[in-house]
Structure 1
């Protein structure tokens, strides 16, 4: 079967609601509204379209586009539902933005450098308005050596740890990537990251990310400016994050689509992708965004998206996107395509050197080992020779 034909969105025409959703998420959807035929709208399952928008976390975009279409075939109850969710999301994002600013100021006032990942800062950076993207929590990135001090100030700010995992030796710094904290009264969850991605993959140091940071634009609400990743590092992060989750939420692809038209030094991005093993997932991101959202691929990125590996990874992600669709009418998944949640898929995202590094990392202790066999800190070195036995115990305890 040709990879090119599988990536063509026309193959999804049997799923009318998903096809319309993809159309509504395109940047040029407003200028192409006359392409939406009335007969097509009358034949839709609008309840399912709502479920799709909620599943893919793209309610704001869908609501605003359907409001612009303003066709009598669109149920008024659907628009009221979407409008209510849109308003709730706006309030939620403003709340997260204010809390992220408060915690960021607290940490930076005590000498801890902070970069904001995703959330309100990314919404402002890519969409120009925090109401146009959804987020359930706040993600902050700090240097690994600042983690102990940052945890102290998180507790001072009223947050309690949700992770509850002991850190074993020093492997947590490169095997894991974040710890979660919850404010019981404000009901805000903050993930404190010390790496962009888990699993010992290649990525820039915090100092490199900090040197190329961007200041998030101030908003009309007077929210404080926060630092975000530079545009090139943003693509590196977003493509790896989406790939790791199999792109099962279209929101992540929309982020790539919006980033594609920003001022990014694509020539500088290419060697960065090669340096940190990001070529496979970068190519996958471009292949998917171009096929599903009509994203224009910048000239320097076209060879990356055209490789057999990028197309193969895009096929794997497509199968998972289809399988995750609520009540999908189109569920034909090729049996030879690996499921994106599998270990083989995750390994296929990495280059040979990073695959080797990942396999070596499995020999080192993880934060879950003390839960199986608690040992005093002075005996934590024993987790290294005990690692195979703990892995087997964890493996068989799942069955």
Structure 2
């Protein structure tokens, strides 16, 4: 049976509605199915956390009934229908990209997206997605850019100097906003880890009918989802649901000892601990978490503005990495400061740049834009 906890992503209703619903979907025998759910409240929370596709798919495949009015199913289906079309369009764009990489002989691994949904949820639209993420070797960046540009992704954004990916856009027919493709060569920042992507490639396998397109192993997929959620401070239930699904439906395929050993090598052990600590915070009796020797990390109140900073500091593996992060936060490089301001810095002195940066930060601190 689900037990209440006193931390939250945003509201207590999420603990009394969404979490019991998820428990019911993965464990129909759980007494939570006897709870009565408010249709509109539940749908609003599901929509806010972008987990409508997962909930709809799980309800459909589980074949169970929950105590909620028919209006909930109607609202959920409408959301799923919209997401289905978007997923279909992204799936087609992904296939075009992968074929181009294959034809050009450029090794690539799709991350998350419709391929992850197909492999682990059973359908490309069973997990919502809004962009395309591709892992490449850093030495193949130029060739990869040529591939994405040939597929119509001709617009790029200002490059974040501490990020580990480049982003390209195209206006895809049928999508409300430009579709982005991110070319990753790593999964975390290099100066706060010892991330080596070699294991991602050596443990991967070819995607069916491809030679140069590969897919991550289940263990590395789980590792990637932990890192991805941690990089976003696990600030949405969609990250919890991804890990919950892997733990509940693909537990036997994941070598958790290997994951933790790899995290030790990459200096990302506490990131894994942070991600799993949030999962256990909401699902403290989750059996599939038992026996995983992760380091439990205290999770602060996720509504606090201070939360993101404290979460980031707590998930770094050493004080050396924390000091690097703090130093960069207080006195960022001029290039990073310009990126944060969204300007190229032409005809601006360094005094003006940092003055505007801190003015922007104080404005955001007090709720401004």
Could you say which TM-score interval applies, normalised by the shorter chain? 0.7 to 0.9
Q: Give the SS at the match of 1:31.
A: coil
In the alignment, structure 2 segments of 5+ residues that lack a partner are 364-369
**Secondary structure of 1:267's match?**
helix
Evaluate the alpha carbon distance shift between residue 90 and residue 203 of structure 1 in structure 2; reply closer, same or farther with a 3 A threshold: farther
Give the one of 230, 233, 240 matched to 1:243: 230
1:366 maps to: 335
Aligned match for 1:354, one of 318, 321, 324: 321
**CA RMSD between the two structures:** 3.5
Partner of 1:232: 219
Aligned residues: 343
Name which of 257, 274, 278 aligns with 2:268. Answer: 278
1:381 equivalent in structure 2: none
Tell me by how many angstroms 1:52 deviates: 0.6
Most deviating of 352-361 and 107-116: 352-361
Change (3 A) 1:199 1:206: closer
For the Cα contact (< 8 Å) 2:107–2:212, is it kept in 1? no
TM-score, with normalisation over the residues of structure 1?
A: 0.73
Task: Tell me the alpha carbon deviations over residues 96-148 of structure 1, each in whole angstroms, 9 at most, x when there is no partner.
Answer: 12211211221232232111111112212322322221111111111222223
Residues 110-149 of structure 1 aligned to structure 2 (within 5 Å): 110-149=104-143
Q: TM-score, normalised by structure 2?
A: 0.78
1:157 aligns with 2:147: no
CA contact (8 A) 1:253 1:288 kept: yes
1:193-212 correspondence runs (5 A): 193-198=184-189, 200-212=191-203
Change (3 A) 1:397 1:250: closer
User: In structure 1, what is the equivalent of residue 366 of structure 2?
Assistant: none
In 2, Cα distance between equivalents of 1:27 and 1:354: 40
Say which SS state the counterpart of residue 36 (structure 1) adopts: helix
From 92, 96, 99, the counterpart of 1:102:
96
Query: In 1, are the aligned partners of 2:226 and 2:243 still within 8 Å (CA)?
Result: yes
How far apart, CA to CA, are the structure 2 residues paired with 1:368 and 1:89? Answer: 36
Offset at 1:51?
Answer: 1.0
- Taking structure 1 as reference, are residues 118 and 393 closer, same or farther at Cα in structure 2, changes over 3 Å only? same
* Counterparts in 2 of 1:232 and 1:200: CA distance versus 1, 3 Å: farther
Contact 2:102–2:212, Cα closer than 8 Å, also in 1: no
CA distance in 1, matches of 2:218, 2:39: 37
Among 40, 47, 63, the alignment partner of 1:47 is: 40
Kept in 2: contact 1:8–1:291 (CA 8 A): no
Q: CA deviation at 1:82?
A: 0.8
> Residue 350 of structure 1: CA displacement?
0.4
2:245 is equivalent to residue 258 of structure 1: yes
SS in 1 for 2:308: coil
Match of 1:345 in 2: 311
Given that 1:199 and 1:358 are in contact with CA atoms closer than 8 Å, whether structure 2 keeps it comes out as: no
Per the TM alignment, residue 203 of structure 1 is displaced from its structure 2 partner at its CA by 4.9
| Structure 1: stretches of 5+ with no match in the other structure | 1-6, 324-332, 376-385
Alignment partners' CA distance in 1, 2:17 and 2:360: 44
**Structure 1 residues 123 and 95, CA gap change in structure 2 (3 angstroms):** same
